[in-house]
Amino acid sequence: MRIVDLSAPIDAGQPEADQISHTILSPAEGARHMSEQVRARLGLRLDPADLPDGEFLSLDTLTLTTHTGTHVDAPAHYGSTASYGVPETIDQLPLDWFYRPAVVLDISKAEGHIASADHLRDELDRVGYTPRPLDIVLLYTGAQEWAGTERYFTDFIGLDGAGVHLLLDLGVRVIGTDAFSLDAPFGDIIERYTASREPAVLWPAHVIGRDRKYCQIERLTNLDSLPPYGFRLACFPVKITGAGAGWARAVALLEES
């Protein structure tokens, strides 16, 4: 079996929509910290130099949103209520949704930063695969090329409302994208809304989640290295109590032929 990493890093050195803070306590600093703890809590003495190599253990402290790096959006992210009941937070979703056969659809040629249901139909015809219930659909938009730059957050292709409904009608419950969002960039959405005053154009790929239960994996990478189908995706989200999203190490599992 071959494992293909589909995850983008959480990297405080890269531009982010919401900047990450990552503080590292080094092993040497960890030794001094432990020495202080021993004195303060136990009233005993442990010289940092007594520890092997004068080092204890490192510790990373991060401040970041759950939408940093590759992550899974939960229904609770889409709104506080849903027509079908209380929308689940990330810790409440069935794990069974996140280890499934997957299909990659290329929507990178869509114009106007948005792909339609017709794009998806054409792509499903081209690859010759019909998703079965609970299959994971991965959308290759090409945005992964701009990962690590400011452009990644403004220049990408989203999916329109009809496209989301088409996948949900097939029984899909997890939709992945290599872009910052499953919706079109915010500037495009506001332009469309200004022209039409039609609320349905406002972030449909997320707001539809107030009527229909599904998750999206955002900020994937390496989707262009996968075959269109014939593999499984594993993308278990980190179990954060009450959170609207969780980071995931998304990988494709390919049987070697």
Residues near Zn ion (CB under 5 A) are 67, 73, 218, 245
User: Between 114 and 124, whose beta carbon lies closer to Zn ion?
Assistant: 114
Least distance CB 246 / Zn ion (angstroms): 10
User: Between 205 and 252, whose beta carbon lies closer to Zn ion?
Assistant: 205
* DSSP code at position 143: G
Where would I find the beta strands (DSSP E) of the chain? 2-5, 21-25, 59-63, 71-73, 99-106, 114-115, 136-140, 158-159, 174-177, 215-218, 229-234, 245-247, 251-254
CA distance 76 to 84: 12
For Zn ion, the nearest residue by Cβ is 67
Least distance CB 2 / Zn ion (angstroms): 28
Least distance CB 181 / Zn ion (angstroms): 7
User: Between 30 and 113, whose beta carbon lies closer to Zn ion?
Assistant: 113
Least distance CB 65 / Zn ion (angstroms): 8
Residues 109-118, buried b or exposed e (16+ Cβ, 10 A)? ebeebbbbbe
User: Between 16 and 73, whose beta carbon lies closer to Zn ion?
Assistant: 73
CA distance 42 to 31: 16
Least distance CB 73 / Zn ion (angstroms): 4
What are the DSSP calls for 172-225, one per residue? --EEEESSS-SSPPHHHHHHHHHHH--GGGSSHHHHGGGTS--EEEESB--GGG
User: Between 56 and 213, whose beta carbon lies closer to Zn ion?
Assistant: 213
Nearest CA-CA partner of 218 in 188, 189, 245: 245
Least distance CB 217 / Zn ion (angstroms): 9
Return the amino acid letter for 55.
E
Burial-class residue 158 by CB neighbours within 10 Å (0-12, 13-18, 19+).
buried
CA distance 231 to 4: 10
Least distance CB 201 / Zn ion (angstroms): 19
* DSSP code at position 91: G
User: Between 67 and 213, whose beta carbon lies closer to Zn ion?
Assistant: 67
Nearest CA-CA partner of 69 in 178, 172, 168: 178
User: Between 31 and 250, whose beta carbon lies closer to Zn ion?
Assistant: 250
